[in-house]
Amino acid sequence: MNISLGLGFALLLSAVLATAAGAQTQDPVLSLADGTATPTQITVPAGKPFTLTVRNTGKTPAEFESHRLHVEKILPPGKEVQLKLTLPKGRYPFVDEFHPAARGTLVAE
Amino acid sequence: MGGQVAFILWRESIEALLVIGILSSWLTARQAGRRARLFLWGGVAAGLAVALGFAAMVLGFSSLLSGGLRSALMTGMVFLAAGLIVQMVAWMRRHGRTLKREMEGGLDAAAADGRWGAVFLLSMTAVAREGSETVVFLYGTLAAAGHSTLPGLLAAMAAGLAAAAATYALLRLGSRFMPWRRFFQLSEIMLLLLGAALFTTGVSDLVSMGVLPFGAPIWDLGMLLDDNSRIGSVAAALTGYRSAPDAMILAAWIVYWGAVAVALRWQGRASSLARTAPRNG
């Protein structure tokens, strides 16, 4: 009885972990840190809604900007923003306006 | 790094400087008087206050407004400023020659106050918009600086502010040494382009809020002038340039310049009527 309960719990836990991992690969996270963007290329499926999290992990403020995405967000250090997007096929360049060396591309395919 | 900081400061302030410089030159040349200046600089001061308030909210010191409401306000301000610019240019055209006489004649002080109210609003919105970004940038960059990097950073900031001040001085000098008609034409074009930039930003904001639909780009001039590059970002801020516009951006350009054409043509007709009226009567 106890064993089967433990087994069930373990199964449930692994299922939860699996979905969490799945969600992570689906929903990309971009981190901006004082002039570096990680990753510099993010690939997402075209036409499918997803959430892009942009996080400022640096010490100085950042401004995530992409004219193509119609986004301009100021991020003080330690802050993050969630962008709900559904993109047609294409390339969407972005830049940290406050550190223009940090730039990259969102690719919807 | 230093050059970067100076450049960002200059770029963030150029928009407001253009507006203030042109309005101020215009008020001087037309001898609009102290009262009009009070409205102009009062608008600048009010804009700075709004910028500080917005910056405090972005930095999390104050949660007076939610993020959504704040961006809605920003978007409203952008459209207001674009409208004021077009209206101001139309009005400058009509009163370019007559304002001094009207003022000397003590004509309609109340109507003049109404007009200066628009000057106040325009200078306020111009300063408030980019001002809040500048404050966040300055504050955050300074807060992160260590003892060793602080002097260089302060020097870079001083250089950026000096470049902004030099741009302003150049504009004012231009108004003094250039033939007035030429300066007026030039400032008219700069103001209208700036209005286009503001309007385009506003429409872009509406797309990002989901009010207007998101679309694929119609063309891509990114190879020629990328709007994320240094020069491209200045062009975007001052003219509304986009290297890969989608349908909504294209529509924004058509609507804005169409409205400008209509407003100026209508204004031209009204002023030619005004000019012939006294002779008839």
| Residue B99's pLDDT band (cuts 50, 70, 90) | low
Task: Quote the pTM value.
Answer: 0.85
**pLDDT, tens digit, 9 for 90 and up, residues A79-97:** 999 999 999 998 999 999 9
Torsion of CA B151, B155, B157, B163, to 10 degrees: 180
Q: What is the mean pLDDT of residues B88-98?
A: 74
Query: B223 and chain A: CB distance < 8 Å anywhere?
Result: no
**pLDDT, tens digit, 9 for 90 and up, residues B166-196:** 999 998 888 888 887 888 888 899 999 999 9
Residues in chain A within 8 Å Cβ distance of B139: 61
Task: Quote the mean pLDDT of chain B.
Answer: 85
What is the pLDDT, as a whole number, of residue A23?
A: 45
Domain extent, residue B245, equals: 2-280
Q: What is the DSSP letter of A90?
A: E
What is the pLDDT, as a whole number, of residue B255?
A: 98
**Mean pLDDT lowest for which of A6-20, B92-106, B140-154?**
A6-20
Domain positions in chain A: 28-108
- Give this complex's ipTM: 0.82
Residue-wise burial string across B100-124, b where 16 or more C-beta atoms lie within 10 A, e elsewhere: eeebeeeeeeeebeebbebbbbbbb
| Residue in A with minimal Cα distance to B231 | A100
CB-CB under 8 Å, A76 with B60 = yes
Residue B275 has pLDDT above 80, yes or no: no
**Alpha-carbon span A101 to A53, nearest angstrom:** 20
Longest dimension (CA), chain B: 75
CB-CB under 8 Å, B204 with A93 = no
Residues in chain A within 8 Å Cβ distance of B144: 34, 58-60, 77
Report in angstroms the alpha-carbon separations of B10 from A80, B25, B165. Answer: 26, 20, 9
Residue B32 Cα, gap to closest chain A Cα (Å): 38
CB-CB under 8 Å, A90 with B217 = yes
Say if residues A58 and A33 touch (Cβ distance below 8 Å): yes
Choose, out of A66, A68, A83, the residue to mutate when testing the contact with B (most B CBs < 10 Å): A68
What is the pLDDT, as a whole number, of residue B176?
A: 85
Class of CATH domain A28-108: mainly beta
Residue B127 has pLDDT above 90, yes or no: yes
Residues in chain B within 8 Å Cβ distance of A98: 8, 137, 141
What is the pLDDT, as a whole number, of residue A13?
A: 53
**pLDDT, tens digit, 9 for 90 and up, residues A27-73:** 899 999 999 999 999 999 999 999 999 999 999 999 999 999 999 99
Query: B230 and chain A: CB distance < 8 Å anywhere?
Result: yes
CB < 8 Å from A in window 52-91 of B: 58-60
Q: For chain A, percent helix, then strand, then coil, each to nearest 5?
A: 25, 45, 35
Query: A48 and chain B: CB distance < 8 Å anywhere?
Result: no
Say if residues B65 and B239 touch (Cβ distance below 8 Å): no
CB-CB under 8 Å, A70 with B205 = yes
Domain count, chain B: 1
Name the amino acid, one letter, at A33. Answer: A
| Residue A11's pLDDT band (cuts 50, 70, 90) | low
Backbone angles phi, psi at A83, to 5 degrees: -115, 120
> Residue B25: which H helix or E strand, with range?
helix B2-29
Residues in chain A within 8 Å Cβ distance of B207: 70
Residues in chain A within 8 Å Cβ distance of B136: 61, 74, 76
> By percentage, how much of chain B surpasses pLDDT 90?
43
* Positive or negative: CA dihedral A3, A8, A13, A18: positive
Residue B279 has pLDDT above 60, yes or no: no
What is the pLDDT, as a whole number, of residue B257?
A: 97
**pLDDT, tens digit, 9 for 90 and up, residues B210-253:** 899 998 889 999 899 999 888 998 999 999 999 999 999 999 99
Q: What is the DSSP letter of A81?
A: E
Angle at CA of residue B136, ends A82 and B18, nearest 5°: 110
| Residue in A with minimal Cα distance to B137 | A61
Across the interface, of A67, A88, A95, the residue whose CB is closest to B216 is A88
What is the pLDDT, as a whole number, of residue B265?
A: 87
Across the interface, of B136, B226, B246, the residue whose CB is closest to A74 is B136
Asked if residue A77 has a cis previous peptide bond (ω within 30° of 0), the answer is no
**Alpha-carbon span A56 to A104, nearest angstrom:** 15
Q: What is the CA radius of gyration of chain B?
A: 20
What is the pLDDT, as a whole number, of residue A1?
A: 46
Q: Which residues lie closer than 8 Å to B258 by C-beta, 6 or more apart? A: none
Q: What is the CA radius of gyration of chain A?
A: 18
Q: For chain B, percent helix, then strand, then coil, each to nearest 5?
A: 80, 0, 20
Residue carrying the six token digits 């106890």 = A2
**Mean pLDDT lowest for which of A55-69, B4-18, B84-98, B210-224?**
B84-98
